[in-house]
Chains A and B, each alone.
Chain A
Amino acid sequence: MTPVRFSPSSLNESRWYEYLIRFALGGVATVFTGLISSRYGASVGGLFLALPAIFCASATLIEKHEIRSKREAGLSGERRGQMAAAVDSAGATLGALGMLAFAAVFWLTVERSVAGAFIAASFTWLVVSIAAWYVRRKMRSVRRAGRLRKANGPAISRSRSS
């Protein structure tokens, strides 16, 4: 199983304007949520706290980086870019479970303590997201090992009988 690691050199892959785009998108999404809340009320506005506006930008950037690095190696890289974005979106599915837990904990605790609600909800998001990711990785590696055993089974029994 691949361990989680820091790769600070990945920051060099991004151009300065890509950081600017993400900053602007984050700002616009927050302003947009505020506008929706003041126009249609807190309930409808709350939905947009989970709007995947930022995800569009990050998936596009991941695909672009993958294509760029493959082009430098003389390959097209389009399919590779799509697959990298797909892996990222699979991770986002698990992150969404964490976000659900964040919202539930915040909802239950904010009236008792505001600071406590932010800390508890953020911690819950982290724990649930990492746990979901870990369980998915474990399940995939168990399934892969099962498939390998099945594929190698007849070969092993043949080599034993000869």
Chain B
Amino acid sequence: MTEYIVRFLVGGAVVSTFAMLGDVLRPKSFAGLFGAAPSVALATLGIAVYTQGAGYAVLQSRSMMAGAIALAVYSVVVCHLLVRARLRALPATLLALAAWLPVAFLLLAIAGAQT
């Protein structure tokens, strides 16, 4: 239980720091870089190294690469849903998760098949 409380507090603090950095930076396209900052990754990998060791973090960071490619696809889909389909931000970002999930798992499966 204590581990999850620590996770919550560390994750919240790191994410808020990056989000505030994104808030104070202009232009908006530059601030958007901080929307894809590895904030959850920093908190999670830090805890993983401390509790499970570097070998565990190696596995996590390897599949994180697949997640990051899926995130790039996700962001492009969100952009198109906002500009072309004229959806509002919340439905667009939630709908686009339907693109992130299959792309991430497909890439993980391809990477897994090659090892």
Contacts and interface: CB of A to CB of B under 8 A. Distances in A.
A27 B13 CA distance: 8
Given A90-B29, A99-B41, A122-B42, A47 B108 contact: yes
B31 to A, nearest CB: 6
Interface residues of A, number: 86
A44 B63 CA distance: 7
Of A26, A44, A79, most B-chain CB atoms within 10 Å: A26
Interface in A1-22: 2, 4-8, 10-11, 13-14, 19, 22
Interface residues of B, number: 84
Nearest to B9: A27
A47 B37 CA distance: 15
B72 A100 contact: yes
B15 A23 contact: yes
Interface of B: 3-4, 7-16, 19-20, 22-49, 52, 54-72, 74-76, 78-79, 82-83, 86-90, 92-94, 96-97, 100, 104-105, 108, 112
B56 to A, nearest CB: 5
A29 B15 contact: yes
A56 B61 CA distance: 23
A24 to B, nearest CB: 7
B54 A90 contact: no
